[in-house]
Structure 1
Amino acid sequence: MESNFYEASNFDISRERKHDTSMPSRHYHNGYEIFYLVSGDISYFIEDKSYQVVGGVLLIIGMNEIHKLVNASGESFERITLLFQEEFLQDLFPYNNSFDVLASFSSGKNFMRLTGQEQSFVEKLFDKMIHESVKQQPGSEFYLKTLLFELLIFIYRKTESLPAEEQSGGNPIHKKIFEIVDHLNRHYDQRQTIQDVSGKFFISPSYFCKMFRENTGFTFTEYLNNVRVKEARQLLIGSTMKISDIAERVGFESMTHFGRIFKEMTGLSPLKYRQTYKLETV
């Protein structure tokens, strides 16, 4: 099967919501790639491994590793892709024998599930990189290198701490759970309970909870809240909707519950989040 080669940019980052990928089904490049799924669910293939990827998963792809993205459901997904050459970091952070920040890319550990706090941390780093790339202010290149190095150290430490079952890759998410995740990504704005969803997919509630957590790294409630808050964040920044309307739009039954969950996940109230990030995008 033919694979396409692409020359990697010195540094490039993009965040897009889309239904399909503009890249050929199989490709590789002479740079390092960090792929983060903000929301949705897709399949991703890296060399001989396949992964069912849900929102909050980060993938790292080394130089010349063949990979492709498949969106079988046809539903929209939001992703962040960062591509860089090794030379981009060398003048600011020269490598030495005691620590190689790029060692993670040759560790065979391509797949990382991130906790809610870890997602918030890396998404803020990505947002800062995108802001610097667009604005091109004095010192932007050095700040981009600093932000990238911080992200690479996080990835290095994360791969070092991965449990054995996550290190081998290969379909980390059970097919049935992937179907449930797809259902939640499409219908997060509706009332969803463990009893309703487990019944819909013919699984007992207790087994459903156990299998969902083992396969996604989240409880059912954590995952659903994660999807809802990410959608709310986009609406807070990209629309003029009232916060109470946004809460209802993404599936929260009360403003109090929405405000509490939103602050737990982002560290800011919905109003403060809107004020902070609206200003940053001007």
Structure 2
Amino acid sequence: MSETIELNYGAEEDDFYIQHVKRTEPFERTNHFHGTYEVYYLISGQRTYFIKDRSYLISPGDLVFINKLDLHKTSDVGEPGHERVVINFSDRFLGSDHPLYTPALFAAFQHPSHVFRLKLQDQLFVQHILKRMTQELKEKATGYETYVKLLLMELLLFAGRCSEKQETVSFEHRSPMHKKISEVVRHINDSFHEPLTLAGLSERFYMSPFYLSRAFREVTGFTFVEYVNTTRIKEAQRLLKETNMKIIEIADAVGFENIAHFGRMFKKLARLTPLEYRKLNR
């Protein structure tokens, strides 16, 4: 069997989700983002992890933190096969309204490096917490949901302390192509509200349109147009939730020159119209 699921609890967009999986064949997770926080622990194998605007080479024992709405994807490196645990949780599960909330719980998600390379002793500590979580969710003894939440808090506080001690060491995948595409992605993230074209970026970054298009998709998993539209719609979602701006104003603010095109793209990516999304998130 190419995939063995050791544990699967909940769904990725639920308030709490955890999956422990072993794979023996090539696997690539498509680029995606979600409104939940993600913690990723690699047990064996190697992975390339694209997060926001950078590619990281992930090794066994690495702990990865991905903030909500950050674009990310994983792909194989070298020999196929890997084992990992991934946890997703929402603000409702462990956010600012929780009686034990402290900003320290989310410090790891704010660290400049998304990746924590743990010492052996710290790896064993993390593995112990994940094993306890797995046992609780399988056995479902009295109070198991509360216990799992406490274990998650322990993991997050531990990571927050790691973030205070860890220097901003780069574990980025530093091939020339990855480095160049990271620069392009950072430019898009900073300038998505402006007119952006493949030809314009090719000229700016001294690459042919053909090479940029091919390399961009290889590194990010997106075509150039898909990435620009996704980045713009993410910002539109934020503005719809957090401001009282009119929809036509939001379309213009995020870089769409045509309100009809904005509406089509929003419905395609968010699966709701902008008005429906605003009503659902107010």
Structure 2 length-normalised TM: 0.53
Pair 1:95-2:84 in alignment: no
Contact 2:57 2:171 (C-alpha < 8 Å) held by counterparts: no
Counterpart Cα distance in 2 of 1:37 and 1:172 = 20
Identity %: 32
Q: Which residue of 2 aligns with 1:242?
A: none
- Matched with 1:271 is none
Q: Residue 121 of structure 2: which of 117, 121, 127 is its match?
A: 117
SS of equivalent residue, structure 1 residue 28? coil
Count residues in correspondence. Answer: 164
Which residue identity does 2:88 align to in structure 1?
A: L
Cα RMSD of the aligned pairs, angstroms, is: 2.4
SS of the residue 2:113 aligns to: coil
Q: Secondary structure at the match of 1:121?
A: helix
Which among 44, 48, 51 is matched to residue 43 of structure 1? Answer: 48
> Are positions 1:171 and 2:188 aligned together?
no
State the TM-score, normalized to the length of structure 1: 0.53
Cα shift at 1:171: 2.5
CA offset digits 1:57-85 (Å, max 9, x no partner) = 11100000000001143521100101111
Q: Which runs of 5+ in 2 are unaligned?
A: 1-10, 176-282
Secondary structure at the residue paired with 1:64? Answer: coil
CA drift of 1:9 comes to 1.6
Which residue, out of 136, 139, 143, partners 2:143?
139
**CA deviation digits over 1:178-215, x for unaligned, max 9?**
xxxxxxxxxxxxxxxxxxxxxxxxxxxxxxxxxxxxxx
Post-superposition offset of 1:95 = 2.9
| 2:165 maps to 1:161 | yes
Q: Partners in 2 of 1:88 and 1:76 — Cα distance?
A: 32
Describe the superposition over 1:21-47 as per-residue Cα deviations: whole angstroms up to 9, x where unpaired: 474x20011000000100111111101
1:33-72 matches, cutoff 5 A:
33-72=38-77
- In structure 2, C-alpha distance between the alignment counterparts of 1:7 and 1:114, rounded to whole Å: 26
Take 1:44 and 1:61, find their aligned partners in 2: how far apart are those partners?
Answer: 11
Q: Closer, same or farther in 2 for the Cα pair 1:93/1:118, shift >3 Å?
A: farther
Given that 1:56 and 1:119 are in contact with CA atoms closer than 8 Å, whether structure 2 keeps it comes out as yes
* Structure 1 residue aligned with 2:134: 130
* Structure 1 portions without partners, runs of 5+: 1-5, 174-282
